[in-house]
Amino acid sequence: MERIHMNYLKDILYRLKSGESERKIARDLGVSRPTVHKYKVMAELEGFLDPDQALPDGAALQKALGPEPKPPTQPSSLLPYREQVEHMLKLGMEMNAMWQRLRDNHGYTGSYSSVRRFVHALYPPEGPEATIRVHTKPGKEMQVDFGHVGKLFDPASGKARTAYAFVATLCHSRHQYAELVFDQKASTWIQLHRNTFAFFGGVPERVKPDNLKAAVKQALVHDPILGEAYRQMALHYGFLISPTAPRQPQQKGKVENGVHYLQRNFMAGQEFADIRFANQHLLTWVKETAGVRTHGTTFQPPLYLFETVEKAALRPLPETPFALCEIRICKVHTDCHITVNGCFYSVPWRWVGKSVEMHLYERRVEIYVGQELISTHVRLRKKGEWSTRMEDYPPHKAAYLIQTPAYCRHAAARLGPATTEVVDHLLSERPLDRIRSVQAILRLEDTLGAERLEAACKRAAHFGDMRYRRIKEILNAALDRQPLPEPLVKPAQRSFTIARKPSEFFEQKGDIVQ
């Protein structure tokens, strides 16, 4: 039986001492008559009802009552299995798995609740840890976080996708900005911050994000490695980044409450045509519902505190918004390209196999090695698109792509008619197979000069063998310096007249010629 509260006990003693009956005391205080009688007997034995003595204090009553009786307990059904339970606890086994193991291997027939109570009796759980509520000055800190809100229709893909609510809460006024998105990529993270600062019309001194990849690459308690794009954004806007320690969500409790409030009040029971329509309603809800409610901690409307106190304490926005969307570390493939979001960008061939830093802006792409800018491109949007600068290829390999058949014919025409004849001949039948031979012939000009190449081509054409190998042999043997042989003159054809008749060459016998 539980002991009644000390205040009730004092009231019972006071009423008894005043002469009230047990029945009336029980009726007025809502306790049973046996309970009143029990305490009356105890008071009489201790002399508490003596009219010449004052009522005892709490310590005297506690001493007179003695220790509070414990409720009757029944021995646990797990006492015979204590050794097995302690062994499983040392192995780090969860209680549900422990219960299954006891049933399967040891024939235990009790419930899971019995296992849980027995384990807690052996090792009582620690009580809740005390926390400190931090009061933030105006403009000092903003907390940001994502929260899951179910599926919304995506007009771009034409199907429903998992959506997230981004919430940014100013810690002093509790005024917030919220937006629905389909991903938590670095580019989305940067754009959400831009939208947030534009919505508030200023920048807080510090931003506390969760340990998501877009903001913090590796979650360390005292030395977080910040995402490079996010770090550059902080420098641009002039705020400090103070990431939440791992597994410490209470450090950003203000935005956690904001996320839960949005989930329970805005999204609960709502159906939207698509995410754009949902964001339009969300912005109105932030201003006209969440912003004007009386907050449970400040007891002031967040929008009122923001407009009257915190807005003036924010730092002014820079003249231009931050343009960098994302920074990635990419490896240069053997084809002299890196791949980002399914798009291909060329990089100078000397960086093949090495890692480079890619800065993605809204309309352009910059590629760095350390502080050196090695390549720039217009940003591609569709997967499978290529942006290639021919100068990024090795010279001896780029020639095949740069020196097209049309280019080769134009170069040959500049060198002379004989070179033009050779090039036209090689490209006339199999242009794709002979293009390398044509390119090799034209490159001979670099080492031997245009005059010798034209002479060698003229000699090769004269003899009807216009292969690269033959032209190279002519130049190696310096035959291009020798005059071409004179063409062979064919003798003039003569006409002969037979002086004698054919019949004179045959002997005639009768009418037969023999």
Q: Residue 134's pLDDT is what?
A: 67
Over 50: is that where the pLDDT of 480 sits? yes
Pairing label, strands 355-361, 141-154:
unpaired
Calculate Rg over the CA atoms of the chain.
48
Q: Residue 309's pLDDT is what?
A: 92
pLDDT in tens, 104-141: 888 888 888 888 888 888 888 776 666 656 678 999 99
Q: Residue 436's pLDDT is what?
A: 76
pLDDT in tens, 374-400: 888 998 988 889 898 888 888 766 555
Over 50: is that where the pLDDT of 225 sits? no
Over 50: is that where the pLDDT of 371 sits? yes
CA–CA dist 49, 55 (Å, integer): 8
CA–CA dist 36, 129 (Å, integer): 40
Burial degree of 416 (CB within 10 A; 0-12, 13-18, 19+): middle
CA–CA dist 510, 514 (Å, integer): 10
pLDDT in tens, 252-310: 567 777 788 888 778 766 778 888 998 998 999 888 888 888 887 888 899 999 999 99
Residues 23-48: what's their mean pLDDT?
83
Contacts 24+ apart (CB under 8 A), 304-308: 305/172, 305/173, 305/174, 305/175, 306/170, 306/173, 306/175, 306/200
Work out the pLDDT band at 1, boundaries 50, 70, 90: very low
CA–CA dist 386, 348 (Å, integer): 15
pLDDT in tens, 411-456: 888 888 988 888 888 888 665 567 778 878 888 888 888 889 889 9
Q: Residue 52's pLDDT is what?
A: 73
Q: Residue 512's pLDDT is what?
A: 47
Q: Residue 344's pLDDT is what?
A: 93
CA–CA dist 193, 168 (Å, integer): 9
pLDDT in tens, 68-101: 666 666 788 888 888 888 888 887 777 877 888 8
Q: In percent, how much of the chain has pLDDT > 90?
A: 13
CB 441 within 8 A of CB 484: no
Q: Residue 513's pLDDT is what?
A: 46
Least confident piece of the model among 11-20, 53-62, 250-259: 250-259
Residues 482-489: what's their mean pLDDT?
72
Residues 467-485: what's their mean pLDDT?
86
